[in-house]
Structure 1
Amino acid sequence: MTGDTAIIDTAGLEALVSALIRRGRVVVGPTVRDDAIVLAELTSARELPYGWGVELEAGTYRLRRRTDRMAFSHSAGPQSWKYYLHPQRVRQWSADRGPDGTVTVTEEADRPPSYAFLGVRPCDLAAIATQDRVLMVGPHTDDVYRRRRVGAFLVVVECVEPGATCFCVSMGTGPGVHGSYDLALTEVDDERGHRFWARAGSEAGAEVLAELPRLPVDAATADAARQAVDRAAGRMGRTMPEVDLRDLMRDSREAERWNDVAARCLTCGNCTMVCPTCYCTTTENVTDLTGDHAERWRRWDVCYDLDFTHMHGGPVRQSGRSRYRQWLTHKIGTWHDQFGMSGCVGCGRCIVWCPVAIDITEEAHALQAERVAGAQSEADAEETPERKGHP
């Protein structure tokens, strides 16, 4: 039943993957490939990145060897689960013209696999919930996302070692698990061995957990796991300013800081590509050389693209300054107005994968400092000579 707990070891983790595959699920999890920890289909828990960690900084990502066998002590990689739930390219329909000129349109039949996501970070769990709100709640739902999301089995792994660019505590999304999941794991590796504190968060999770080989009940492991998560919360590499970010963005529309970031930003859109919550798309039509076959594809789009706001007469946001301001203002400001939550979960991917090392937390702190300085200048200007102590 929901709430069941157990202590498992690496053999139990292997049994978990096997149990999910037996249920007909495609298991996706982290693995080492091309000098990065990426998400890929797994056939065995042995493919997990045991003994690998990462070094992160603004514009920097490097693998490093660890001195232990931890499988999940690495921060968010270049991919998020958005790649599987909200794929980069989806064919929507195709059309063929026959010899008699008749055109037949065939709608694409999207039959996604039944996914099991192994190693979902708490920040990425929050990102999935954010995309649920955007793409599945309201009058206009996304059928591609819904078919992939409904029934997906989520195995969340709490963070015990945050990266230098992580700030999930500021956004209230980690390092401990919050929200809905099927199984939650917390990894412990100490003098008593390498093991996982596992908890079921759903009936489906409890059913799978009941099949796994268990170690003897051990309250000390659960305590060690909780303490590791608590320590991680105190070791965040980044923070957001402790202010209402919606108000900050509203008050910073004309800030000078936008000019500074515009001088550095390449408007490449890397930050939106790696962001686990960005959801914008566009459509493109393609034909073959004969003109008898045509297809319509939906693909990711970015608000940094000039064509993103193109209307009759040209794009609305012509400058890099305006496009970066739009992205950041929407991400941590007006997203609240649209969806009742923040569009940022504190994963830090946009910091790591920005080629010129623009840091969303640094920009937010700079905007707050400028706002405070402006308010102080206004207060000084209003102060009378008498109040300053002059005759």
Structure 2
Amino acid sequence: MSDPATPQSARAVMLDVPGLDALIAALAGAGFTVIGPRLREQAIVLEPIEGRADLPAGWRDVQSPGHYRLEERADGALFGFASPPHAWKRHLHPPEVRLMRARSTGSGFEVTDSAGDHAPPRLALLGVKPCDLAAIAAQDQVFGLTPDAPEASRPDPTYAGRRRAAFIVALDCGHAAATCFCDSMGTGPAVPADGGGADLVMSEIVEGGHRFLVRPASPAGARLLDSLPEGTGRPPEAADRAAAAAVPEATRAAQRRRLDPDHRRIVADNLDHPHWSRVGERCLACANCTMVCPTCFCATVEDSTDLTGDIAERWRRWDSCFTMDFSYIHGGSIRIETASRYRQWMSHKLSSWYEQFGRSGCTGCGRCIAWCPVGIDLTEETARLAGRAPAQNAAKQDSATPTGGE
């Protein structure tokens, strides 16, 4: 995890495409398991990679409400896509964690293993887009890793261990799907100048020669760059920096979908609006939106035993406010209607999250829109709650191709 208070090298480097292999090798040599995008089952997923050959060269995602497909690009970009179905959350806040294991001693149980007994994996996250970088910052706060976090005095040990051991390589976004609206949330498409918590920041440039501008954003990032083999890369020129700056600007210009900047008040002032019932009639309560959301953090804890009763385990698993059991207390569930569950999710994400954490719970990645089977769009629902038609979201599908200017 980066330490912005520590002085850092100002060295930046231009890497050609083979130079990316040197960067990945340096991360592996430093003891990290490199997690990056790759193709699997007609989707771009975030899994362990060994080199640039594993990256989705020449592919992009085409997304719209209830729709996700891949199609080939003409420029060979390695990161020419918007949002993979799953966010980096699953590597920092895993879908399931065994909290403890206990064995019967005859007179009671003895804990033989707990989550805190194991060193966290050292993961290098390669190609984290700005919207997901903002989501990681949000979860840092949720799980108590920032001084202003409600749980700062007792951070979640599983998340804290994984996050502190992680090395983040952020990436200026060079492709906007039709579902993206990070610009209206202030979370992209450019990585913040201070790195936003990343260790390295990359820009992929295809126009005028495929190359990468890589700059350090933390002392660990500067050391990693300094460890590259002699002769790897070259100093960036003014033209390189200008080309890199143009990439997220082109992505910004391509975005059409926007969330109303007054979304907090709009939602808070319309909790009894009849439109919630209309949304509830469409919503399947499938929980897809919460599973793919990069900031949702709800979980349940389950205890189980083996058939003999000698071994007991306690697991934490992702849960969702869309499930009936999530709001169950003695006597039944509080939110029986689907409309009330959708309202809980959206009002928390866009409104009451501010009371908890001082920010919105949405980073504009658009995953909840693409992966909703019926195409419910929280930007459109916010507009309707405000009494406006969401005409501004009638964008041509997947309009951005700035990474390579196809």
TM-score (norm 2): 0.88
User: Hey, what's the Cα distance between the residues in 1 that align with 2:350 and 2:10?
Assistant: 34
Asked if the contact 2:12–2:236 (Cα under 8 Å) also holds between the matched residues in 1, the reply is no
1:314 corresponds to 2:314: no
Is the CA contact (8 Å cut-off) linking 1:48 and 1:71 kept in structure 2? yes
Alpha-carbon distance, 1:3 to partner = 2.9
- Look at both structures and tell me which one has the larger radius of gyration over its CA atoms: 1
- Of 248, 252, 258, which residue of structure 2 is paired with 1:229? 248
Q: CA deviation at 1:13?
A: 0.7
1:196 corresponding residue in structure 2: 212
Q: Does 1:115 align with 2:129?
A: no
In structure 2, the residue matched to 1:130 is 138
Is the CA contact 1:28–1:115 (under 8 Å) kept in the aligned structure 2? Answer: yes
Residue 198 of structure 1 aligns to a residue whose secondary structure is: strand
In structure 2, relative to structure 1, the CA distance for the partners of 1:92 and 1:151 (3 Å cut) is closer
Residues 187-228 of structure 1 show CA distances to partners (whole Å, capped at 9, x for unaligned) of 1112x3100111110111112222341135321121011112
Give the structure 2 partner of residue 11 of structure 1.
18
Per-residue deviation, 1:101: 4.7
Matched, 1:187 2:189: no
Asked whether the 8 Å contact 2:81–2:174 carries over to 1, the reply is no
Paired residue for 2:167?
153
Specify the alignment match of 2:396 in structure 1: none
Task: Report the Cα distance in structure 2 between the residues aligned to 1:165 and 1:177, rounded to whole angstroms.
Answer: 19
Q: Matches of 2:51 and 2:163 in 1, distance apart? A: 23
Partner SS state of residue 143, structure 2: helix
Of 217, 221, 224, which residue of structure 2 is paired with 1:205? Answer: 221
More displaced stretch, 181-190 vs 126-135: 181-190
Alignment partners' CA distance in 1, 2:246 and 2:89: 30
Distance 1:282 1:91 in 2: 12
Partner of 1:214: 233
1:370, CA displacement in angstroms? 6.1
* Aligned counterpart for 1:167 among listed residues 174, 181, 186: 181
Give the superposed CA RMSD.
1.5
Deviation of 1:162 after TM superposition, in Å, equals 0.8
Indicate yes or no: 2:367 matched with 1:349: yes
Aligned: 1:57 with 2:57: no
Q: In structure 1, how many angstroms separate the alpha carbons of the residues matched to 2:108 and 2:164? A: 38
TM-score by length of 1: 0.91
Is structure 2 residue 73 aligned with structure 1 residue 66?
yes
What are the ranges of 5 or more consecutive residues in structure 2 without an aligned counterpart?
1-7, 390-406
Secondary structure of the 1:105 match is strand
Q: Distance in 1 between matches of 2:235 and 2:303?
A: 59
* Kept in 1: contact 2:306–2:312 (CA 8 A): yes
Distance of 1:24 and 1:239 partners within structure 2:
41
d(CA) in 2 for partners of 1:281 and 1:289? 26
Q: CA deviation at 1:318?
A: 1.1
Partners of 1:305 and 1:111 lie apart in 2 by: 33
Whether 1:241 and 2:260 are equivalent positions in the alignment is yes
- 1:269-325 Cα shifts (integer Å, max 9, x gaps): 110000000001111111111122111111011001111111121111111111100
Q: Match of 2:392?
A: none
